[in-house]
């Protein structure tokens, strides 16, 4: 009997996954079709760097480039540009979990077709979380509408702090519940709203496991990315060299985070057997 040339050992064992298996699988993902999983986010980060320079140069002559403004522009730009690398990583991961090989060209073609929908999922996710967080401002707005005497000024401050803290925590709860909407869209083929609904369907009973795994992944990224980011803060490093180095760091961090989220999705789907 001939062996399947497209077969390979599955990326992770069948059944529920531990946090260590998820993190280890995300690291191993970097070596699978690296031209697609690593090369594409490097290219996307380089494009972002060039676009930021185009925005920053004329903007800085007028305003001095406020750091907060530029950071917000960079974050929003990466949501747009990062959707394609994430979609490709989800495609490669799906094949690796099934024990199947996929070439860079096929991964890119499939991922790029899914990227616009994934971008819509990300944007809608951000809007939902932002709306939830904004609810924390309602009590303060009500207090301001009632009056402006000393009592309301005294109460408004603590109420604002408590409301923002409460809604911030709840927004994070909602965000974790929607975290696997991306792979649900790319891998399972759900539409934008269907992917968010599927993530919410899988969330009950998995929230703390998901939160803990994301926390561990964030710690890994912080430990690895902090030394890697050192050249970016050294005085005298040319801007172009710093931008290229940041692109290389993004080439590792982006597929790793996508791999963690994708494997969380796999782990959540195990009891439902929906990926068999």
Domain ranges for the chain, please list them. 33-272
Q: Please check whether residue 88 is in contact with residue 36, taking contact to mean a CB–CB distance below 8 angstroms.
A: yes
Q: Which two tokens stand for residue 54?
A: 């185009």
d(CA 231, CA 241): 9
- The whole-number pLDDT of residue 207 equals 86
- The whole-number pLDDT of residue 272 equals 45
- The whole-number pLDDT of residue 47 equals 85
**Residue 218, H or E segment:** helix 207-228
- What is the distance in angstroms between the CA of the first residue and the CA of the last residue of the chain? 24
- For residue 227, what are the CA distances in angstroms to 142, 215, 231, 248, 250? 47, 19, 8, 13, 14
Full pLDDT tens readout for the chain, 276 residues: 344 555 667 788 877 888 889 999 899 888 888 888 888 888 888 888 888 777 665 554 444 555 556 667 777 888 888 899 999 999 999 999 888 888 888 999 999 999 999 999 999 988 888 887 777 677 766 766 665 566 656 666 676 667 667 777 777 888 889 999 999 999 999 999 999 999 988 888 888 889 999 999 988 888 777 665 666 556 556 667 766 777 788 888 889 999 999 999 998 886 544 444
d(CA 240, CA 188): 40
């Amino acid at each position: 009997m001939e062996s399947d040339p497209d077969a390979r050992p599955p990326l992770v064992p069948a059944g529920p996954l531990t946090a260590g298996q998820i993190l280890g699988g995300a690291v191993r993902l970097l070596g699978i079709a690296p031209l697609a999983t690593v090369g594409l986010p490097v290219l996307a980060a380089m494009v972002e760097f060039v676009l930021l320079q185009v925005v920053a140069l004329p903007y800085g002559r007028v305003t001095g480039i406020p750091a907060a403004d530029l950071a917000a522009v960079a974050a929003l730009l990466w949501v747009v540009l990062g959707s394609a690398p994430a979609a490709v990583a989800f495609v490669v991961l799906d094949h690796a979990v099934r024990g199947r090989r996929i070439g860079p060209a096929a991964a890119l073609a499939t991922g790029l077709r899914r990227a616009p929908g994934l971008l819509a999922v990300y944007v809608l996710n951000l809007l939902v979380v932002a709306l939830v967080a904004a609810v924390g401002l309602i009590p303060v707005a009500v207090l301001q509408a009632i009056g402006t005497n000393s009592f309301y000024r005294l109460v408004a401050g603590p109420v604002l702090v408590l409301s923002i803290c409460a809604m911030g925590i709840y927004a994070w709860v909602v965000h974790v519940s929607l975290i696997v909407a991306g792979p649900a869209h790319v891998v399972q083929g759900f539409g934008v709203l269907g992917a968010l609904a599927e993530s919410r369907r899988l969330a009950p009973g998995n929230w703390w496991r998901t939160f803990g795994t994301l926390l561990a992944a964030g710690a890994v990224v912080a430990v690895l990315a902090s030394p890697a980011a050192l050249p970016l803060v050294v005085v005298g490093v040319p801007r172009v060299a710093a931008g290229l180095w940041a692109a290389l760091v993004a080439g590792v961090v982006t597929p790793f985070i996508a791999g963690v989220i994708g494997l969380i999705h796999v782990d959540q789907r195990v009891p439902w057997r929906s990926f068999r």
